[in-house]
Amino acid sequence: MSVFTLSQSEKESVLLKELSALTEHHRERCEPYARILDASGFVAASAVSELPYLPVRLFKNLELKSIPDDEVFKVLTSSGTTGEVSRIYLDKAAAAEQQRRLAATVQTVLGPKRLPMLLVDTKAMLKDRRSFSARGAGVLGMSTFGRDHVWALDNDGAVDLDAIRGFLEKHGGQPFLIFGFTYLVWLHLYEVARDNGLDLGNGILIHSGGWKKLIDQAVSPSAFREALAGVGLTDVHNYYGMVEQIGTIFLEGPSGGSLYCPDFADVVVRDPETWAELPPGKPGLLEVVSTLPTSYPGHVLLTEDLGVVHGIDDGDWPGKRFSVLGRLPRAEARGCSDTYRSAA
Amino acid sequence: MSVTFRFGTPGDLTAPSADRLTVGDPRIVDFLAKLARKLLAPAVARKHPELGSLGYFLRPAELHRAVEKMRRDDALIFPRGNVFHLPPANVDTIFVYSWALSALAGNHNVVRISSRSAGAAETILDALGEVAADADPIVARTQRMVTYGHDDAITGALSTWCDLRVIWGGDNAVDTIRKLPLRPSARDLTFPDRTSWAVLSTAGWRAADPAARRAAVVGFANDAYWFDQAACSSPRTVFLVGGDGDEVRAEFLTLLLEVVDARGWVVDPAMAVEKRVNAYGLAAIGAAGALDFPDNRITALTLTGTEAAPRYWIGAGAFPFAEAGSLLDLVPAMNRQDQTVSHFGFTPAELQAFATELGGRGVDRIVPFGSALTFGAIWDGYDLPAEFTRLTVLQP
């Protein structure tokens, strides 16, 4: 079963219909959202790129939900870089659906069975409430797709070589799942495997997180893949996703180098000058769309990430394939009001 | 503790000094006049137009006028003593205005320059250094500009050293720095968060000829765009006063776009996103009923009422509009936080009535379009030369 099946034109006609209906659904149920649409003069869209988008940061500033308070089943939070927190409201149905779709997406590369799982992180991280929301939620969400979990880092965050060795002795001969944040995988798995001659050949790596820390060390995404291949790890899938569109992940295809959109999601790259959609090859602001957000108006979101579409219907899977190029730096006021503000 | 000297003789900042300056000291006047000449050089003015205003402010004629105004018949006037300035990081010229007036009053000054200063501030520091090379060395001994981190020990030492502590910047800065005590005889001069507005008479606009309208928009554009609309005196919301504002607003925005085009100003992607975040946010809470993005450099919002005008920065080239029947109708919407109202198309009598009705409860400056950023010796309701000096009464 795959969730990467629809060609771009098929997908767009499905998405336009569903997302237009979702737009009306949220317009009826979320007053702040309705006000935004009214103020923008939105009537109807004849293409996915014409759907009204919300800047993702609005979820940090406003309470945006399309369900009554007594149907709120789960509130997800993410700590942003500036200390503001996004709040995402899910009802039971939305929570179940996002988990189901996430499973379907990762099963595309993992297969239907749960695999033994090596987590490139520390269990202690789950206890730290502050980092729990961002990193912990990601780890917890993904851990349900594995079994016989082993943590690669001890409670102090140091590499637990014995644990990794033990895991590989027990499960290394069969396919197993590795999950972790990209820079942790680089620092605490790749380098350890290289230096200790560990065989990760049967591993399927799913990793995410900003590339900035690695780019700072002059490790590009392609260098990352090449280096991992050197320790036998060739089944490697980066992904891109955010708490504001929980359940939707854009997954790297088997050949690497590009992220793909599941059938229920898509990306639009916008020119930050004209706001028009950009063709493949032109980098711009990334907009993410997904049919999963039914309990809050997060179905069309303008991110603060830069991205580029590399091609359409020409890769491992159909639809758009793209890359995330990094974060747009925040705008800084040259104002009078920052005499003694702590430097970031 | 690490202090970087950006200007002035390095050494212990709080050590007692034998140097004495007078109010309007000729050595300071000479120094500032030479600085003015540097800042008014065509190459500098082209690169940093805001330094032109500063250079003008520091011309000898202006300096002599300022000194004359400090003199009084009923008392002898002297420097206040030691003045410690904490200017904002990102409005590159403010620190010079406040320091220059204080120096002109004969004070020993220490100015904390943010490590994030850039652009025009660096140009000013370079110019200061060049002028100092030929100036009386007392200038460099008594006037010092330093950069250091958020070090309460240094700020605290300078706070107990000074007779007057000048805190520019927002409410947070004032609150944070005020935790560090002053000497009993010293005091603070604070410049907290402020909001500024523009008022446009629709009748006055219609009565103005095309050249006057264009000139007004040029002035407004400078007021708004020079500091990314984030200086305390930059106009934010535009109040269209007198009814039937739609046509006036449309023409105003068309002209504004022409000016912005002609200047070649650009908006970086982060600022474009910032404006959308804030505009959508204002729509979401019902403060803005319509959003227009005629161009990336101009975001126009229609407010649902005058009281819906935001008092926080919403980005560069972001203009909420609200209509009012008369200037007097705006009075209830103004408060103590409001600083500058820049105006176009009103009669002096209308402005006078507005100011009188405000009664000092809000708004410190009412100035024409194009003058919002022009610094004056009276600022934020203070008479700065008076603040920077002290009086001795002598009865023979």
CATH of the domain at A311: 2.30.38.10
pLDDT score recorded for residue B311? 93
- Assess if residue A106 is contained within a domain: no
Q: Could you list the residue range(s) of the whole structural domain that residue A22 is in? A: 1-71+253-328
Distance CA A45, CA A35 (A): 17
Residue A95 included in any domain:
no
Q: Residue B283: CB partners within 8 Å, gap ≥ 6?
A: A35, A36, A38, A39, A40, B289, B291, B301
Residue in A26, A340, A342 to test binding to B, most B beta-carbons within 10 Å: A340
Q: Do B296 and A35 touch (CB under 8 A)?
A: no
Q: How many other β-carbons are positioned within 10 Å of the β-carbon of residue A204?
A: 21
CATH topology of domain B195-368: Aldehyde Dehydrogenase; Chain A, domain 2 (3.40.309)
Delimiting residues of CATH 3.40.309.10 domain(s) in chain B: 195-368
Instruction: Indicate the average pLDDT of chain B.
Output: 94
* Side-chain half-sphere exposure of A95, counting CA atoms within 13 A: 13
Sign of CA dihedral A191, A196, A197, A203: negative
pTM score:
0.90
CATH number, domain B4-193+380-392, options 1.10.150.130, 3.40.605.10, 3.40.50.620, 1.10.490.10: 3.40.605.10
Residue of chain A nearest B287, judged by CA positions:
A35
d(CA B327, CA B329) in angstroms, rounded, equals: 5
| Each residue's pLDDT expressed in tens, for chain A with a length of 344 residues | 799 999 999 999 999 999 999 999 999 999 999 999 999 999 999 999 999 999 999 999 899 999 999 999 989 887 555 567 889 999 999 999 999 999 999 999 999 999 999 999 988 877 765 555 556 777 878 889 999 999 999 988 899 999 999 999 999 999 999 999 898 999 899 999 999 999 999 999 999 987 777 777 888 888 999 999 999 999 999 999 998 999 999 999 999 989 999 999 999 999 999 999 999 999 999 999 999 999 999 999 999 999 999 999 999 999 999 999 988 988 776 666 554 443 32
The tally of domains found in chain A comes to 1
Contacts of B287 in chain A (CB under 8 A): none
d(CA B48, CA B33): 19
Q: In A, which residues are within 8 Å of B176 by CB distance? A: 340
CB contact under 8 A, A274 and B296: yes
Q: How many angstroms away from the CA of A34 is the closest CA of chain B? A: 8
Q: Measured between CB atoms, which of A272, A333, A340 is closest to B230?
A: A333
> Average of pLDDT values for B332-358?
97
Nearest to A340 among B169, B274, B289 (CB): B169
Judge whether A277 lies within some domain. Answer: yes
| Residue A119 lies inside a defined structural domain of this protein | no
Is residue A130 situated within a structural domain?
no
Q: Which residues of A touch B317 (CB under 8 A)?
A: none
CB contact under 8 A, A272 and B276: no
Q: In angstroms, how far is CA B62 from the centroid of its own chain?
A: 18
Determine the distance in angstroms separating the CA of B67 from the nearest CA of chain A, rounded to an integer: 27
Q: How many Å apart are CA A206 and CA A238, to the nearest integer? A: 6
